[in-house]
């Protein structure tokens, strides 16, 4: 196992890249799809809960290996083949969804402020300079390592995961959610560059929270004029009300480009707020 990342690295002065507009146009968010019916963290076929035993964590790590390594070809730096073991796992809460047979078919990893303090770092800090997020550090939830088994990507599993994350934020009085959202790079990065251009043009970049990538894609060497499809998870975040907080960063282990996404609680789409929290967002302090 790799050593735990050192405490949050020194931050450099923040300079917005030359392609970031000084005044963003009005934001344009994809039209949301109908929501499946989910009550109490359970549906007819699935149930969500937080891992409570070492065995639960092994099951989560097995699913992550199946999706990230076997399916997507990621180079996982795990000491145990077949398990995606990550140094941050020991500090995080692990959310899982089980099907009717009790198989783990979906998961998320969540790092609360107190856990990040003990850990000394956020996972996102390995890819981005996170200085703009520091004022929110004690009210922010970092999420990541999200995946759903290929036979269960029907929307319901992800909705259950998001619902439980919303409750987690409620339970721990957190106002901001952030993490990495990936874009495959089989094309060498042109799709990621094109999506970055699209996000800028549609006003989907949160300039006040812009975090500089540690290993940015070489934007000047890429074709940013393509009509690129947003990956489902990234599209889902935007529908929830999230904003983009970085240019794409290169992740060599997962062979993808990562955008930092931030979701302020007050910006959650009203229809999702009612679904996740049960009351309009305006009723929350």
Which CATH architecture best describes the domain 109-283?
3-Layer(aba) Sandwich (3.40)
Determine the pLDDT at residue 94: 98
Determine the pLDDT at residue 123: 97
Residues 214-249: tens digit of each pLDDT: 999 999 999 999 999 999 999 999 999 999 999 999
The answer to whether residue 32 scores a pLDDT higher than 70 is no
The answer to whether residue 200 scores a pLDDT higher than 90 is yes
Determine the pLDDT at residue 282: 40
Determine the pLDDT at residue 10: 31
What is the DSSP-derived secondary structure letter of residue 27? Answer: P
For the segment 128-134, the average pLDDT, to the nearest whole number, is 97
Percentage of the chain exceeding pLDDT 70: 82
Find the helix or strand (DSSP H, E) in which 262 lies.
Answer: strand 256-264
For the segment 23-37, the average pLDDT, to the nearest whole number, is 40
Contact 143, 108 (CB under 8 A): yes
Cα distance between residue 160 and residue 106, in whole Å: 9
What's the N-to-C CA distance of the chain in angstroms?
42
Determine the pLDDT at residue 61: 98
- Integer-rounded Cα Rg, in Å, for the chain is 18
Contact 100, 45 (CB under 8 A): yes
Residues 43-102: tens digit of each pLDDT: 679 999 999 999 999 999 999 999 999 999 999 999 999 999 999 999 999 999 999 999
Determine the pLDDT at residue 44: 74
Cα distance between residue 25 and residue 23, in whole Å: 7
Q: Shortest CA distance to 268 belongs to which of 117, 119, 110, 141?
A: 141
Q: Which residues, at least 6 apart from 45, have a Cβ–Cβ distance to it below 8 Å?
A: 99, 100, 156
Report the chain's mean pLDDT, rounded to a whole number. 86
User: 88: helix, coil or strand?
Assistant: helix
For the segment 167-194, the average pLDDT, to the nearest whole number, is 97
Determine the pLDDT at residue 253: 92
């Amino acid at each position: 196992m790799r050593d735990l990342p050192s405490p949050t690295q020194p931050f450099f002065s923040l300079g917005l890249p030359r392609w970031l507009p000084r005044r963003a146009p009005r934001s344009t968010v994809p039209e949301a799809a109908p929501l499946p019916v989910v009550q109490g963290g359970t549906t007819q076929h699935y149930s969500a809960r937080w891992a409570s035993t070492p065995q639960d964590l092994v099951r989560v790590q097995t699913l992550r290996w199946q999706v990230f390594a076997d399916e997507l070809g990621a180079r996982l730096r795990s000491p145990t083949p077949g398990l995606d073991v990550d140094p941050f796992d020991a500090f995080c809460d692990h959310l899982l969804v089980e099907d009717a047979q009790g198989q783990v078919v979906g998961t998320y990893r969540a790092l609360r402020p107190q856990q990040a303090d003990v850990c000394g770092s956020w996972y996102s800090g390995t890819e981005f300079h996170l200085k703009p997020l520091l004022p929110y550090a004690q009210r922010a939830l970092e999420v990541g390592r999200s995946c759903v088994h290929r036979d269960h990507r029907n929307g319901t599993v992800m909705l259950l995961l998001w619902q439980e994350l919303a409750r987690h934020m409620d339970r721990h009085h957190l106002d901001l959610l952030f993490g990495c959202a990936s874009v495959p790079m089989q094309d060498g990065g042109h799709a990621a560059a094109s999506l970055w251009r699209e996000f800028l043009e549609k006003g989907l970049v949160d300039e006040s929270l812009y975090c500089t990538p540690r290993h940015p894609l070489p934007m000047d060497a890429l074709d940013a004029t393509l009509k690129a499809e947003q990956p489902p998870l990234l599209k889902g975040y935007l529908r929830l009300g999230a904003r983009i907080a970085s240019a794409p960063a290169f992740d060599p282990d997962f062979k993808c480009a990562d955008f930092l996404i931030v979701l302020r609680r007050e910006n959650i789409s009203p229809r999702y707020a009612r679904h996740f929290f049960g009351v309009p967002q305006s009723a929350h302090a």
